[in-house]
Amino acid sequence: MTARRRALAILTGLVVLVAGWASFVAVWSGPAGAGPEGRGAGVAGARAAKLDAFRNELLVWAPGGFSEGEVGRVRDSTRVAAISAVRTGLLAAASGRRSYQVVPVETMAVDTNAYTSATGRPGRKLATLLPKGAVLSRTGAKLRKVKSGGRLRLAGHRSVAVSGVVDDTLLGGYEVALESTLARSYGIRRAAYLLVRPRGPADGLRNELRRLLKGRKLRFVTPGDRPFVRGGDSVLPLAQVKARFGEFALPGLHRGRPDPAWTKANLVTRNVPLLGRVTCHRLVVGHLAKAMAELRRQHLGGLVDVDGFHRRGGCWSPRLVRDPRGGKLSRHAWGIAVTLEATGDERLIQIMARNGFIWGGSFAHPDSTHFEWVGVGA
C-alpha cells in the first residue's frame, strides 16, 4: 500500500469516525433505557463544545503518558499560560459477589484548581466537589447506582464519599474523578494527558512541545474534535462501552475472565459470511456480518485472512490487556473488536467504518489488524 493510499485511508477513517461519534452520542444520550431497543444506560451529556467547556485549551497526549519530569518541562515553558496534568487508572469497585468481587471503574485524578480552570465556567461546581470526595459522571452514577451524598463502595471493604454527580463531558467521559492526593492512595499517579492553555498562537505551542518532548509521538486535540475531551485513541470511553454492552465483574482488577452471568446474557455464536463461526457481542455480531457480506458482494473477500482471524482470537476473547501504569481492558473482552490479518486496503477500512468499526491503523501505536466498534457510520 503506497504512502498516499495509506494517508487517504486514515483520513477517510477519521472523517467517518467524527460522523459516527456524533450519531452514537445523539442516539445514546438521555436517561437509562432510552437508547435503541431500550437496553442499558444511555450516554449522558452533550459535546464539550456545546457546554462551552475547555475553551482555549489544547489537549496533549502521547502513548504511555508523561513522566513528572516531562510535565515539569511543559509547565515551565514560556508558551504555556496554564496546565492541568490528568492522571488516569482503574478503581476496583466492589461487586458484592464472592467469586467475582471487582468491577473495574475508569477513573481520572486531577489537581482541583488546575482542572477547574481548564473546564471554565461549566466546571466551576467541581471546585467545591472534588476536595470532598469522588465526583461521578452521570453515566458512572447510573452504573454504580449511587447518588450525590452516597458512598462509592470499593473492594477490600473500602469506600469513598460521593460528593457530586456532573455531566459526562466535564470528566472527559471518565466514570469517576478524584483529587490527585486522594488518587495516589489508590495507585493512580501517572499523567495520561495534559490540558494546556497556550500563551500566544497554538501552532507556536505545538512546535515548542515537540521540541521539549523530542522523540515522543505527540497528539493534539482541541475541543469539538471529539465528543469527549480526553487522551487516547478515538474509541469509546469505558463508561460508554459499559452503558451499551453491559458491565461485568472480575475475580481481580487485572486478572480472570468476565463473570459467566454477563457472558451468558451478552455473547452469541453465529455463522458470519466469510469468517464462519464467530463468538461476538450480540449487539455487534450483526454489524460484523453485514460488513463481511458487503465484502463478499463486492468480491473483496480476499482482503481478509480467515485463518488468521481465528488464529488471532477472532472477536470475543476473555483475555485482558494489562498495563502496569493503571490498567486497560481489552475491548475483545466485550466481544466488540475483531482482529483481521488484512492488507490495510482502504476499501476494507471504509466498509468496516460504514458498519461501525474504527481501524487501528490510525491509532498512535498503529495496529493494522485491529477493528473496534464505536458506532454505526464510524
| H helix or E strand, kind and range, residue 197 | strand 191-198
pLDDT of residue 50: 61
Average pLDDT for 71-95? 97
Are 119 and 53 spatial neighbours (Cβ–Cβ below 8 Å)? yes
Average pLDDT for 267-293? 97
Q: Report the CATH number that the domain containing residue 317 is assigned in CATH.
A: 3.30.1380
Average pLDDT for 228-257? 92
Distance CA 243, CA 239 (A): 6
Smallest Cα–Cα separation from 90: which of 332, 268, 320, 292? 320
**Pairing, β 158-166 against β 134-137:** parallel
Residue 58 domain flag: yes
Tell me: do 257 and 310 sit in the same domain: yes
Task: Judge whether residue 24 has pLDDT over 70.
Answer: no
Tell me: do 117 and 76 sit in the same domain: yes
Which segment of 121-130, 207-216, 221-230, 261-270 scores lowest on mean pLDDT?
Answer: 221-230
Tell me: do 52 and 33 sit in the same domain: no
Using 50, 70 and 90 to split pLDDT, how confident is the model at 324? very low
| H helix or E strand, kind and range, residue 102 | strand 102-110
Average pLDDT for 302-312? 90
Tell me: do 298 and 196 sit in the same domain: no
Tell me: do 177 and 81 sit in the same domain: yes
Using 50, 70 and 90 to split pLDDT, how confident is the model at 36? very low
Tell me: do 212 and 69 sit in the same domain: yes
Residue 231 domain flag: no
Tell me: do 84 and 112 sit in the same domain: yes
Backbone angles phi, psi at 236, to 5 degrees: -70, 135
Supply the range of the domain harboring residue 134: 48-221
Distance CA 91, CA 140 (A): 12
Under DSSP, the state recorded for 171 is: G
Q: Quick one: what percent of the chain has pLDDT higher than 70?
A: 83
| H helix or E strand, kind and range, residue 137 | strand 134-137
Tell me: do 34 and 110 sit in the same domain: no
pLDDT of residue 321: 59
Under DSSP, the state recorded for 29 is: B
Tell me: do 115 and 215 sit in the same domain: yes
Residue 238 domain flag: no
* Mean pLDDT, the chain, whole residue set: 86
Smallest Cα–Cα separation from 47: which of 163, 173, 156, 148? 173
- Among 221, 237, 260, the domain-final residue is 221
- Among 188, 221, 254, the domain-final residue is 221
Residue 236 domain flag: no
Rounded to an integer, what is the distance from CA 141 to the centroid of its chain? 17
- Among 221, 236, 263, the domain-final residue is 221
Which segment of 90-99, 110-119, 195-204, 248-257 scores lowest on mean pLDDT?
Answer: 248-257
Residue 322 domain flag: yes
Average pLDDT for 358-372? 90
Tell me: do 52 and 36 sit in the same domain: no
| H helix or E strand, kind and range, residue 292 | helix 285-297
> Terminal CA-to-CA distance of the chain, rounded, Å?
22
Task: Judge whether residue 106 has pLDDT over 90.
Answer: yes
Average pLDDT for 6-16? 49
Which segment of 23-27, 135-139, 197-201, 223-227 scores lowest on mean pLDDT?
Answer: 23-27
Tell me: do 174 and 96 sit in the same domain: yes
What is the CB-side half-sphere exposure of residue 344 using CA atoms within 13 A? 17
Tell me: do 132 and 65 sit in the same domain: yes
Residue 233 domain flag: no
**Number of domains the chain is built from:** 2
Angle 325-331-333 (CA atoms, 0-180°, nearest 5)?
100
Are 20 and 375 spatial neighbours (Cβ–Cβ below 8 Å)? yes
Average pLDDT for 75-104? 95
Task: Judge whether residue 41 has pLDDT over 80.
Answer: no
Q: Which three cell numbers stand for residue 236?
A: 469509546
Are 108 and 86 spatial neighbours (Cβ–Cβ below 8 Å)? yes
Using 50, 70 and 90 to split pLDDT, how confident is the model at 249? very high
Residue 239 domain flag: no
Distance CA 247, CA 241 (A): 8
Under DSSP, the state recorded for 258 is: P
Under DSSP, the state recorded for 165 is: E
pLDDT of residue 378: 58
What is the CB-side half-sphere exposure of residue 363 using CA atoms within 13 A? 16
Q: Sort 66 into a burial class: Cβ within 10 Å, 0-12 / 13-18 / 19+.
A: buried
Residue 93 domain flag: yes
Backbone angles phi, psi at 329, to 5 degrees: -95, 130
